[in-house]
Structure 1
Amino acid sequence: MAGLRYVCWLFVILGYLSVVLVLAQNPVEEKTTFEAAFQGRCGHGSPCEQLCYELHDGMYECDCRDGYILHKNGYSCAELNSTSPSTSELGDLVDEAESDEANVDNADDEDAVEDILYIRGATFTIHLDTPAENSTVNTTKINEVNADRIELHATSQGPNLEQKLPSTMESIVSTEPACSLDCGPAGNCYIEQSRGDEVDVVIEDDDDGAVDLEGNTVNLRRKQGTFRQRCQCPLGRGGDRCQLEAEVRSPRFTGSGWLAFPALRAAYKHVQLELEFRPEAWDGVLLLAGERDDLQGDFMALILHHGFIEFRFDCGSGVGTVRSTETVKLNEWNTLSVYRHRWDAWIQLNQEKRVEGRSKGLFSRITFREPLFVGGPGNTTGLERLPVRTGFKGCIRHLEANEHHYRFPLAPQGDAANGFDIEECTADRCSKVPCSHGGKCLTTGGDTAVCLCPLGYTGDLCETRVDLQVPSFNGSSYLRYPGLADTSLSWLELSVTLKPTAPDGVILYNGHHSDATGDFIALYLSSGHVQFTFDLGTGPATLRSENPIRLGEWVEVRVSRTGRLASLEVEDDPAQEILAPGAFTQLSLPLNLYLGGAPSYDMYSPKMKTTASFVGCIQTIVLNNREVGILAEALGGVNVGNCGHACEARPCGDAECRPLRERFTCRCRPGVPHPCPAPDDYTPLVPPPARTSSNAVTSVRYERAVPSFTGSESYLHYNDADTMKRIISYRVDINMRFRASSSSGLLLWSGRQSDPQEQRDENDDFLALGLDHGYLTLAYNLGSGEAVLRYNLTRLDDDLWHRIRAVRNEQWASLVVDSGTGVSASSPGQLRQLNTDTGLYVGGAPDVVRTTGGRYTKGIVGCISDLVLDSDFSVALSSPAQATNTHSCIP
């Protein structure tokens, strides 16, 4: 009898196991196999035997209650056989689902239906007691006592929020030591391998071999490397042993942590998300929610992929993806809005244009049964469905879903159910530091934050305007200029006059790649010695001054390079020379050139001896025999102050004060009365050019003039052939750098002359570039209608330097300001060429109202330092055909 009882129990258990195997084989795919859609509406003669759901485009689908399975005809329901798990065997686990299904009958009130409309794809497991160590168990015999402990569970109904430690999908014999850290009652201790140290070793020893299910011998892979132990602390705890209490209001995610919130409710059809985040890396999972913890079935995910935001969602019949057109801003706060209604979704990043998308298939509802994971995938597996599997690295300070504002601390103080590896976001301290005039907030450690002020402003909040004359650098400062690019391929002449107050610091740097590889030049101080390091692509070469320089005194440093040969001179010391290694002789530097420092130490080549920023004053820079307007030509700068030079008192009035170490001279434009030296007394910046013929007149080139304009009958005029052939054509490319204090005014004009007695033709050709209420406006007419293009993203009447680019290619035109987003427009009609005969007016025009046909009433009040046409022709602002009421710009 006992043997018969064993046999009976065996057949019962094998029956249960067969059901488990059938139900566990990807229930989503099994259900999809028998799903069908019909044309029509529920309740109007539909053949659905039990449940009916309306889809889009006049379609509906049938489904069955728990304990039944949908027939392959798509509408009939067959009861599971008596040996299968039924609803009664699941007990309380499905009560909520059954109560939800009872509300589905009213098809006209879908919003009242709860999330869980039916249990879709539940899987079951059987837990058996582990046999004693000395017992013998084989596949044909199970102990009778153990058989009494058969339990059935719906695994997706009770999410486990304990942190899953890193694991591998392979058969691995690990060499890592046991984890011995005491991480507290809720912390996890685990071993992580040092980056780049992991090595796979194939074990061929017979003793270490293994046998697969078919009896074949397989080799195991042993992972070798260096390991370290680390505590993974739960939300609310910190420290290397989770021994510290940590209050988290605005969480920062490390890339390995996450927060878990209760599953989304009433969101099966409609979800609206609002998010503010500050990313520190280009990839990571921002938010994840779904039906199952293995990411099978319904889900939605918000991820960062190569810097772009992607919203992915699956209603059960295919993934839909919506991807932002712009990348996020690293280390800055970004705003994101996400909206999904059934199949359709859109996202909006940083108030840019909305991007829309749609999911695949006929099913339109998402069942959310798993927790809402924020900042990482949590305990979700099956991440191969996503292109990103790592967690988000950065801060999140605002999360709202369907008008519920989430609080990040643990319940009951907040909404979080669990979380690991979460820090307080120090960057959010900047919300209490309102930097003015475009200043950027930077955390400095502890509880403090400071403003990085743009060029021309100072103060704790960048609230004070400063009249810069001779710049000083405080160790967090820098000025940014266009890079040398290909202007110094074969030779470079550099002269810098400076007064350092610290023995270490980068004076000047220009590189080739943003990852600090490739060609570069660097002039810097190291232990008081001036050093010049350069790399032509085959290895660095470094020159070092023989003697250290004296701090607090003005000194001139000269660098010369021809091919591989370079020399360094400091004041009157003998020149030091060096020959660069390798065979390369040319230097290409396309990135920006930085003076006094850089925004990030990561930009510097590791071949330099220091990464500290310069502290002191820099008075003049001469590059390739051209003196750079240190302030006038800067594209931008941070935390630059005045040096305390005599020029700060403006001893030259409206003229330019030129520092000469501790002294100064005044520079006046001819014809402008002022008690300053005559032009003949100027010190030339470069030697006079050689005579080209017996009749040529030797001239001396002075510092390039930067003209300023008063707004009233103040302009430059050009009518030379080189300038006009680039204006009168099918295409024009204008690159200009200027600053303006007036909200409206004309920058450039070229049009048609007309008789004052005759009425102007409304379709006369013209090209106008100017400011209108602070915004840049481009207008043009090619003879068949006027086109107006307005750049509304940035105001330019702030008296700060801006660089703009206006391009017209036949009828199409575009505007870009400060390398921002471009805008474009097209002129009407068929004509494609601009034909004007007035020449080019810069900064204004004579009788502006009449000249521009009433489009402008005055010129700009400000300065123009650069005007380049077609990328290769620089308009000589210092030598126009006519200059009226213009002055030298005071930086």
Structure 2
Amino acid sequence: MLIINALYLLSTNPQEVGRCGHGSPCEQLCYELHDGMYECDCREGYILREDGYSCYEINSTASPPSLEDLKLNGIEDIIYQKDAVMDALEFSLPNVTTTESNDIPQVIPNFTTPSPSRANYTTQGPRLEQKLTSDETGVPRATSPISTIKPCPLDCGPGGGCSLENSEGAPVCLCPLGRGGERCEEDKEIQSPRFTGSSWLAFPALRGAYKHVQLSLELRPEAYDGIFFLTGERDDMAGDFMALLLHQGFVEFRFDCGSGVGVVRSEETVLLNQWNHVTLYRHRWDAWLQLNGGKHVQGRSKGLFSRITFREPLFIGGPGNTTGLTEKLLVARGLRGCIRHLEVNDHVYKFALDPRGEATKGYGIEECTADRCSRVPCQHGGKCLTSDNSAVCLCPLGFSGDLCEIRVDLQVPSFNGSSHLRYRGLAETALTWLDLDITFKPTAPDGLIIYNGHRMDGTNDFMGLYLNDGYVEFAYDLGTGTVVARSQFRVALSEWHQVRISRTGRLAILTVDNQLPEEVLSPGAFTQLSLPQNLYLGGVPNFGIVSPQIRVRTAFIGCIQKVKINGRTVSILAEALGGANVDNCPHPCVARPCGEDGVCIPELDYFTCRCKPGYRDHLCSRGPPSFHGVDSYLRLNDASTLDVISSDPLVVNVRFKLSSESGLLLYASAGESFLSLGLEGGALVLRYSVQERGEEIRVVHNSTTVHDGLWHRVKAVKDGSSGLLIVDNGAAITRQSVEISQRPITHPEDEGLYVGGMSVAPLRALTRYKNGIKGCVADLVINTDYHLQLINHSDIGHNIGECEA
């Protein structure tokens, strides 16, 4: 590469490092590199000599450059200068031959001293036919463009290839571009290419792109992994290269200028079965990438080389005949999906076969049917999906109908086999234990009911509940192997069923209705379950994200009316982050029997009413209290409460949702001891006194955000001098620090249990807080059996409101 000689100069003249200013060693142009290095270059019409800093004029009558000069420096720049062309016929060297093909000829350029009378040069791109190798006799032979492990018996016609690409090993034909049918027997004009994962298109090598590349394309992926843009210097990935690919759903740009791979990765994943727009800009070592108009992500290649040599074809949709992929790209398979636009350096590519288009070769290309959606105008944000012969709308929550034209007041969700609801994942809340209660009514014997995984490719930890031939199965993997709990009997269709899963560590217990519980124990030594991805109910948008250990690959069909996770009832519709094709289940709640001021709570085929905040009747009570931060609190100082909060150990369970990042949530004081729970800079902090030491202990939980306006549950324990915090059933935090107590002696009139805050004077005298919390408190349980009915304590509250939801 051009910079090799500059590196030689740097190694022999270390005092010149970084000198592109006054006294630069470069004869013409000098570029500062990173890490204090520099690179010499020449103006148009000149090429760099072998010494790395002087220049030779191309049409000069001066002494010509050496062959080494041309090989290492000049010829690469001549080929890739903008608008420059080179005539391979003007060069010749002894003992170098030209190889020809009956389809697409390849000329191997050979170089001698260029003629002064010719200033323009031309050359043809690399050959796209099968590589020529030699057998044991030394006679060249052609290799197949598609390799298979065992013989593939189909005759796919001229230029076609037989492949055993599917999981059953059934042979299929990958037809050359322009041909189609089961045996490539039909003429087929491709307007918009779809790639199968084993197909690709080839175009001539990039020109004028060795320093700068500006690229935009639109793709519609059907899987989260695949190469869709690849070109470079050699077909074994040993030299320079540039690649765009999908890896676990993220778009990655990988490039190597000759001294190390640089990687730029999008922050968001692509949208499956939807059109995505990718923009890429590369200038020398630096590159930035943008997906769907999102954030520009930047990166840089390694080392000092800044130019990329392009001698191989530009492959679109797959890697073509390139080898050595997994070491450099981590992905070896091509794209599964469609591409409908490709623009590189202001040139828009035509996908058809030359001469109608610009493609020189192609295999396994199908016609993209996604454009059928142009004839299906989905309304209200619905997304169009295509099948083999049709296109249908995937409707967002609250809408149904063929075109999502019907507004639906959802009460009890119904799933039709193409539906799903999406929620925040369980993340770390299910690490050690998980309690899951679901009430559902199936109308089909197979289907995924609930799923949460660790990775978007279905690997690593997961948990899933599903129906398999009428049996209820719960499968999970803690990282050392999958185990499945299966019900004793099939469940009846079109009837309501209640399923409970209780998992602690490796042990899980599945209970279905009144059947005997089924216990299973996961293999290995791992005991924790990490589920950072979204949780799905009723199905998933794509089964590629589901572990292959889940024994069904279809979505649930039927109704789901209740989901309870770790003791908390999930508001199935209100808490959903998104979903599709969810309609109403036939249920009395659909008729809104509780009126406009009540909420219908389904209970199998019946219901009860719960009144909205501010309304009362014989079925309803007021909602939980809300606090606004200043002089807003509940106080309980009756004898029973004082007796409970003076106990040791003291265990407090409280459920709340907050919008403030600082403030007192709870304060308990009896005699000389106290316990407080509050937020300090967004972190949840437990403080308590140790009487015999006169000290104040502080336990901080800062790994979970609890002031996000969502409901959270906290367990705080004070046991002598020890304390712990558990948030949302996650890991227990026991790290504690000791502080000098600055708390004055509590007067009897200040004793009691305060919720949400305190009045201003005692708050600042007795605690380290200036305000109470802003938010709601729904449940408060002390020592497991002392349940405070906060709703009915409004007579002892001060300046409080009613929580809206």
Q: Quick check: TM above 0.5?
A: yes
What CA deviation, in whole Å up to 9, does each residue of 1:808-843 have, x standing for no partner?
Answer: xxxxxxxxxxxxxxxxxxxxxxxxxx9973433349
2:109 aligned residue: 154
Contact 2:482–2:522 (CA under 8 A) maintained in structure 1: yes
Alpha-carbon deviation of 1:336?
A: 2.6
Residues 259, 305 of structure 2: 8 Å contact kept: no
CA–CA separation in structure 2 for the residues paired with 1:678 and 1:320: 65
The 3 A distance-change label for structure 1 pair 510 and 447 is: same
Partner in structure 1 of residue 762 of structure 2? none
Report how far residue 887 of structure 1 moved. Answer: 6.4
Gaps of 5+ in 2: 13-23, 30-39, 100-105, 111-122, 623-637, 645-653, 669-674, 685-704, 712-766, 781-787
CA distance change for structure 1 residues 495 and 302 in 2, over 3 Å: closer, same or farther? closer
| Cα deviation, residue 328, structure 1 | 4.9
Query: Residue type of the partner of 1:160?
Result: R
1:629 aligns to what? Answer: 571
Q: Which amino acid in the other structure matches residue 350 of structure 1?
A: N
Where does residue 218 of structure 2 map in the other structure?
A: 276
| Aligned-partner Cα distance in 2 for 1:240–1:66 | 60
How many angstroms does 1:236 deviate by?
1.7
Secondary structure of 2:199's counterpart equals strand
Q: Distance in 2 between matches of 1:309 and 1:120?
A: 41
Asked if the contact 1:324/1:348 (under 8 Å) is kept, the reply is no
Matched, 1:658 2:613: no
| Residue pair 2:658, 2:707 contacting (<8 A) in 1 also | no
Pair 390,727 (structure 1): closer, same or farther in 2 beyond 3 Å: closer
Deviation of 1:275 (Å): 1.6
Alignment correspondent of 2:114 = none
**Aligned-partner residue type, residue 446 of structure 2:** D
Distance 2:322 2:587 in 1: 63
* SS of residue paired to 1:648: helix
Shift of 1:234: 1.0
Deviation track 1:333-358 (CA, whole Å, cap 9, x = no partner) reads 43233345677654444332252658
* 1:736 matched residue in structure 2: 708
**Residue 837 of structure 1 is aligned with which of 762, 770, 795?**
770
**Aligned runs of 1:278-317 on 2, under 5 Å?**
278-279=220-221, 285-289=227-231, 302=244, 307-310=250-253, 312=255, 314=257
Q: How far apart are residue 642 of structure 1 and its match?
A: 1.0
Letter of the aligned partner of 1:184 in structure 2? G
Q: Distance in 2 between matches of 1:539 and 1:296?
A: 39
The Cα of 1:406 is off from its aligned counterpart by 1.6
- Whether the 8 Å CA contact 1:532–1:542 is kept in 2: the answer is yes
Structure 2 SS opposite 1:185: coil
State yes or no: 1:70 paired with 2:70.
no
1:866–1:644 CA distance, 2 compared to 1 (3 A): farther
Q: Shift in Å at residue 506 of structure 1?
A: 3.1
CA 1:318 to 1:641, structure 2 compared with 1: closer, same or farther past 3 Å? same
Distance (Å, rounded) in 2 between the aligned partners of 1:620 and 1:493: 14
CA distance in 2, matches of 1:349, 1:588: 32
Aligned: 1:249 with 2:187: no
| CA deviation after TM superposition for structure 1 residue 643, in Å | 0.9
Match of 2:315 in 1: 373
Counterparts of 2:5 and 2:657, CA distance in 1: 77
Q: Which residue of 1 aligns with 2:344?
A: 401
One of 264, 267, 286 as aligned partner of 1:326 = 267
CA distance in 2, matches of 1:736, 1:327: 22
Residues of 2 paired with 1:175 and 1:549: CA distance?
45
What code does the residue aligned with 2:270 have?
A: K
- Map of 1:818 onto structure 2: none
Post-superposition CA distance 1:834-884 (Å, at most 9, x none): 9973433349xxxxxxxxxxxxxxxxxxxx9999xxxxxxx9997896686
Partners of 1:518 and 1:292 in 2: how far apart? 35
Q: Which of residues 141, 151, 155 in structure 2 aligns to 1:182?
A: 155
Displacement of 1:398: 0.7
Structure 1 counterpart of 2:55, one-letter code? E
Query: Contact (CA 8 Å) 1:472, 1:616: kept in 2 or not?
Result: yes
Q: Secondary structure in 2 aligned to 1:70?
A: coil
User: Does structure 2 conserve the Cα–Cα contact (< 8 Å) formed by 1:597 and 1:614?
Assistant: yes
- The answer to whether structure 1 residue 552 and structure 2 residue 460 are counterparts is no
What corresponds to 1:198 in structure 2? none
Shift in Å, 1:235? 0.7
Partner of 1:454: 396
Please name the residue that 1:114 is paired with: 84
Residues 487-509 of structure 1: per-residue CA shift (max 9 Å, x gap)? 66777655433322223333344
Aligned residue for 2:590, secondary structure, equals helix
- SS of the aligned residue for 2:355 comes to coil
Q: Which amino acid aligns with 1:62?
A: Y
Query: Structure 1 457/378 Cα, relative in aligned 2: closer, same or farther at 3 Å?
Result: same
In 1, distance between residues paired with 2:304 and 2:435?
Answer: 66
Matches of 1:608 and 1:74, distance apart in 2: 61
Amino acid in the other structure paired with 2:770: D
* Contact 2:397–2:578 (CA under 8 A) maintained in structure 1: yes
Q: Secondary structure at the match of 2:358?
A: coil
Task: State the alpha-carbon separation in 1 of the partners of residues 322 and 201 from structure 2.
Answer: 12
Q: Letter of the aligned partner of 2:264 in structure 1? A: R
1:575 aligns with 2:516: yes
Residues 696 and 420 of structure 1: CA distance in aligned 2, closer, same or farther (over 3 Å): same
Distance 1:340 1:886, change over 3 A: same
The residue type equivalent to 1:61 in the other structure is C
Say if 1:665 and 1:599 are closer, same or farther in 2 by CA, change over 3 A: same
What is the SS of the residue equivalent to 1:475?
strand
Give the direction of change, closer, same or farther, for the CA distance of 1:442–1:28 in structure 2 (3 Å limit): same
Q: Look up the equivalent residue of 1:475 and give its one-letter code.
A: G
Pairs aligned (count): 626
User: What code does the residue aligned with 1:471 have?
Assistant: P
1:419, CA displacement in angstroms? 1.6
Asked if the contact 1:540–1:607 (Cα under 8 Å) also holds between the matched residues in 2, the reply is no
In the alignment, does 2:471 pair up with 1:540? no
Q: Measure the CA separation in 2 of the matches of 1:283 and 1:619.
A: 36
Q: Give the alignment partner of residue 646 of structure 1, picking from 585, 588, 592.
A: 588
Q: Secondary structure at the match of 2:219?
A: strand
Change (3 A) 1:362 1:621: closer
CA offset at residue 359 of structure 1?
Answer: 9.1
Give the partner amino acid of 2:602: P
Residue type matched to 1:243 in 2?
E
Conserved? CA contact 2:232–2:240, under 8 Å: yes
Superposition pairs for residues 737-816 of structure 1, below 5 Å? 737=709
> Is contact 1:738–1:865 with CA below 8 Å preserved after alignment?
no
Please name the residue that 1:788 is paired with.
none
SS of equivalent to 2:365: strand
Instruction: Say which of 424, 429, 436 aligns to 2:367.
Output: 424
**Normalization by structure 2: what TM-score?**
0.60
1 CA distance for matches of 2:282 and 2:208? Answer: 13
Q: How far apart in 2 are the matches of 1:519 and 1:380?
A: 34
